[in-house]
Amino acid sequence: MTHRVLICGDLVWADAEAKDMFQGLADVVRMDSPDRADFLKGFQPGGKYEGIIGVYRHNVSADRIGIFDKEIIAALAPSVKWIAHNGAGYDQIDVAACKEKGIKVSNTPGAVDDATATTALYLVISTLRQFARGERSLRAGKWKSEVSSAATHDLTGRTLGVLGMGGIGGRLAELCHAFPMRVIYHNRKPSAEAPEWAEYVGDIQEFLKQTDVLSVHVPLNKQTEGLVGEKEIRALKRGSVIVNTARGKVIDEQAMIRALEDGHLASVGLDVFPNEPEVNPRLLEFPNITLLPHLGTETQDSQKKMEIRALTNLRDYLTTGHGKDLVGEFK
């Protein structure tokens, strides 16, 4: 019997590749449910999604059916055995519920490294040089009257602290090393993939103490929510900068705002927020910070790589019973 796989969410750049990958291997079904109720009904006996064994998932599907919480995972079982998530972060999937139901989950590490790291690099440069503020000044017809050299700094010689030396953090480290910046990093343990010139600092307080620019690159889960809180922010040097391209909830937003208010933080560069697409209006009142609407992977190059990598994980499961990119909870 031919397998059935479900495309749940956008497949924009790799439609032709999907047809080639699953030709003769599986019937590809497009999710057409307008809402959650219809989606759940589709997995009932006789429903349009009956017999689906694998799911390609994009976050945009949440606009119609919500996140993959316990209710959806329960509906997917027992037929679905693999969820191939498109994206490095997979906090919209209840992985614990998946493990309970025997459903494996993969993501797309590596495919997002360049795009997210260059976004972080822009935020590092903009926060230290106040380029976003300068552009706003120019557009308002004020030339550079709102930007003072007293509040700007070169990157050369400053210390970049990478919190989470994975693929994205490592790529940012390479980019910033070229200025050169000194690069230190903190993980639970040293990374075998870290560049040899990147210094591992095992004590988090000592790591923060040495950091001029803290760039956050950890996944969002129960252990990392609020990881950068009041204590961690105050351990940074006065006048330091925080850059976040990971997930908004990794940082205690209120603690960060307090540090901006009293000048402990000179600036922040954010591409992610706790309750996207909502942005705390208080952040909009700080002219010295740089804000982006989650543009980290918004390039056609990265989007195509992500789609192909997620589809490849799904195909590999169908052909070998394994996918390359199982998320950490299954390792």
Question: Which residue is catalytic, options 3, 36, 258, 294?
Answer: 294
Instruction: Give percent helix, percent strand, percent coil of the chain, each to the nearest 5.
Output: 40, 20, 45
What are the CA-CA distances from residue 170 to residues 88, 199, 209 (Å)? 15, 12, 21
Torsion of CA 167, 171, 174, 180, to 10 degrees: -120
Query: How many other C-beta atoms are found inside a 10 Å radius of the C-beta of residue 55?
Result: 26
- What is the maximum span of the chain, computed from C-alpha positions, in angstroms? 70
Contact, 281 vs 254, CB < 8 A? Answer: no
Catalytic site includes residue 294: yes
Catalytic site includes residue 276: yes
Query: Please, is 300 exposed, middle or buried when counting C-beta atoms within 10 Å of its C-beta (0-12, 13-18, 19+)?
Result: exposed
Query: Choosing from 135, 206, 261, 276, which is the catalytic residue?
Result: 276
* Residue 294 to residue 278: CA distance in whole angstroms: 11
Q: How far apart are CA 131 and CA 150, in angstroms?
A: 14
- Token readout for 254 is 């209120």
- The beta-strand segments (E) located in 65-218 are 82-85, 104-106, 159-163, 182-186, 199-200, 213-216
- Strand order of the β-sheet with 104-106 is 26-30, 3-8, 52-57, 82-85, 104-106
Active site residue 17: no
What is the per-residue DSSP string for 97-112?
HHHHHT-EEE--TTTT
Calculate ∠ Cα 268-271-277, nearest 5°.
120
Q: How many C-beta atoms lie closer than 10 Å to residue 270's C-beta?
A: 25
Specify whether the CB–CB gap between 127 and 269 falls below 8 A: yes
Catalytic choice (58, 85, 247, 315): 247
Structure tokens at 23: 């030709």
- Residues designated catalytic: 247, 276, 294
